[in-house]
Structure 1
Amino acid sequence: MLGALTVHTVLVTSDGGMDNAIVVDAARTWLAGGSPYDDRHFLYFPSAVVAAAPQALLPRPVLDVAVPVAVVAALALGWACALRLHRVPLRSRLAALGLLGLAAGFAPFGQLVRLGNWTVTAVLALPLCLLLASRGRWVAAGAVIGVAVALKPLLAPMALLFLFARRWRALAVLVLVPAAASVTAALFLPDPTGFLTRTLPFLVRGDDAFLRLYEASPAAVLPRLGVPEALAVLLGLLAAAAGVVCAYLRWRGPGPTPLRLAETSAALMLSAFLVSRPSYNHYLLVVLPPLLAGLPYAGAVARRPWFWLALVPQLPG
């Protein structure tokens, strides 16, 4: 299944997928002396430009093959980390059937591979971070999130988990790694403040017609149903605030540490997805593996019917 998906992606995409192409084109622009932020759809920190530079130097036929293979490998590794977080053997039926179910039954999995979206870094980094934290290696966990944020700031809300746990050194590492990487990278750009002066205002406005077609946040979806935009934004903010409160209560609640880590993190990330602009349905793949791998626990969220009902809209087809 994974092999077929990889081969299909290689055959039908270029530059490793439409989303990967945006980042690689930004790196090519930089290497040619231009500003990567001339493309308003490039929404990453300056550190991502430098990280994408090796791809920009590869021949396109090599890139077309290497990126889908790397994305599938990262998704599989993320699932493996989620399993080990909950101490599930990698040769168990859950390990095999879970990966097969994600690939065949969860549409965002295939979307992420075909797009080559850098969300894949978060899909790998989140369970790896939680695995390290569950073993007491919080500073290393903070470094993992920091590197992921430097590549794509999707996991920035995970700082709240470190705040809940009062892991101050780890939190400092989480913040300093992407900050140092981005500031250093920005010094080599012709437009060092491009992210602040172009990208941030664009994200705050969230008024891009192309991105709006694919957005899944309440602020984007509810106005399509006739809800005033201001009310939609307010509802999203209230829901996100409630989600953060629920995340804190889950962290303080009972249960095995791995399960608390997974469910608290999922609540934080889902809350962020409610208000982030843009927000896409493939972001769900970030939180699903750590939750799904928690099935062996009697009180796990993944054992409740509403968990599976919520996934129905993401079935392929």
Structure 2
Amino acid sequence: MEDFDGAANASKAKVLPQTLLLDHVSPATRLLEKRRQMFEVQETLEAQKHDFNRKEEVFKRREEALKLKDLELQESLIRFSKFLQENDSKRARAEKKAADEVKSRLQKEKEIEQLTEVLEDLRNEKEKIHEVLEKNMRYQHYLENVLEVADEYQEVGDLLMRHATLLATNQDLKEHQRKCAELAEKIRTELQVYMKQKTDEILNLNNELARLKKELETYEGDALVQQAKKDHSLQVASQKTLEYGQVVLSTDNIFNRCRGRSKIAYPPESNPLQQLDVVGNYVSDLGAIIKAYRAEQQKKVSRDDS
């Protein structure tokens, strides 16, 4: 491309002066000159095309060579990668084997330490048991001496069994004593609760008795008041009854007198109200008669005076 650009620029440099010179020639000459220039440009283009084809062929060969080298490089990389993978696998197996061996060694060392500790504990326990045995041997000698003077027991086991029996009996007695103490404490607590309940009940009953006494006193006072009111009412009723009897007797007496003096034949009445009606009518009639008589006397006096 650079060669093509250079040739084109060179041809332009050659043509421009000639173009300026052809301004003063005939058109046919200019046409021929133009064709010649086109032919030269065509030749230049053909040369450049040939050069391009040659360079393209070179580039293709180089590209093929590069592809071959790239394939060879890829194959080398693949072989190297496989080699690395195999080495990594071998190294991983070796590391795993080494780690397993280290782990196994540590496990064995740990087991050895544990067994050593167990052995040390067993030795210490053996020494303690030996000390306890030596300490208890005097009890063994003591029990043997007891058997020599006691005809009741023939063997140390019998003596120990008797001791175990007495110990169990003692434990049973202690347990029985504890249960009895708990039962006594329970009964004492229940008695206290019962006494407290009864005391509260007695207190409540005393309060209720005091309240009832107070209510009784109130009711008795009310009864006295009601009795006084009743006596007063009876007294008032007796007085009114007496007055009513007197009124009835007086009314009956007046009724009989009016009935005896009246010219009207009034029927006998026992009802005081009816009797009072009769008395009222009689008094009204008597008043009217007296008024009429006085008026007649007044008229008579007036005639005598005239």
So what's the TM-score if we normalise by structure 2? 0.14
So what's the TM-score if we normalise by structure 1? 0.14
Higher share of residues assigned helix: 2
Q: Which structure: larger Rg?
A: 2
Q: Which has the higher contact order (CA 8 A, sep 6+)?
A: 1
